[in-house]
Amino acid sequence: MEQFVITATTRKESGKKAAAKIREAGKIPAVAYNEKGESIMLEVNAQEFSKAWRSITKTTLVNLKIDGKDNQAFIKDTEYDIKTDKNLHADFHLVSGTKPVTRVMKIHYVGTSAGVLKGGFMVKHVPDVKIKALPQDLPEYVNADVSKLEIGGKFTIADLNLGDKVTILSKPTALVVSIAPPKK
């Protein structure tokens, strides 16, 4: 996947008037938090941020270039105005790449179950999974391939294949999907 670069500069002023000035200049007021919880007030390029924000997942690392220095970061949150179709504020989480992070990720279902093709019903149980990994090892998506499930078949958290660099923290026996028999 493309590595997005977002240009940022540190700022001293805060408040509504300062934020309005930043937005008039084509930038967005932002805050970056490091792994210790310390914050840095920033202003980021609005176009670069918008392009990245619309194209990434919550586990995608971006290159946040603060005053010319490269930093790996996640876009943690953004305030978005639906009327003007503009981002008003952004929060970043700076990471070193050496400390694991924990994320709760939605499970995406891949394929059509063989049991569903025979008239069964797919019953979804657990919608997400809690995982832990180094920032650069986080998967973009968590996919559950249900295509081989027959009627009566079950797919559990333990059946997810996320590789050896990702630790699954959710209960391994928790059901993700089961295929119920057709109703008579």
Distance between start and end Cα atoms, the chain: 47
Taking only the tens place, the pLDDT of each residue in 155-183 is 999 999 898 999 999 999 999 999 999 88
User: What is the average pLDDT across 113-130?
Assistant: 91
At residue 58 the predicted structure's pLDDT band, cuts being 50, 70 and 90, is confident
Would you state the pLDDT for residue 15?
84
Cα–Cα dist 128/176, whole Å: 8
When the pLDDT of each residue in the chain is averaged and rounded to a whole number, the result is: 89
Q: d(Cα 90, Cα 7) in Å, to the nearest integer?
A: 13
Q: What is the model's pLDDT at position 172?
A: 93
Please give the C-alpha separations between residue 24 and each of 69, 152, 156, 170, in angstroms, as whole numbers: 25, 59, 51, 45
Average pLDDT (62-82) is 89
**Nearest Cα to Cα of residue 121 among 73, 174, 178, 75:** 178
Tokens 């934020």 belong to residue: 19
pLDDT in tens, 141-152: 899 999 999 999
- Give the confidence band of 107 by pLDDT, cuts at 50, 70, 90: very high
- Return the percentage of the chain with pLDDT > 90, whole number: 44
pLDDT in tens, 89-101: 999 999 988 889 8
User: Is the per-residue pLDDT at 2 higher than 80?
Assistant: no
Tokens of 164: 């050896």
pLDDT above 70 covers what percent of the chain? Answer: 99
pLDDT at 90: 92
Question: Which DSSP symbol is given to 147?
Answer: T
What's the pLDDT at 91?
92
Tokens of 77: 């949150």
Compute the distance between CA of residue 183 and CA of residue 3 in angstroms, rounded to an integer.
48
Answer yes or no: are the C-beta atoms of 175 and 156 closer than 8 Å: yes
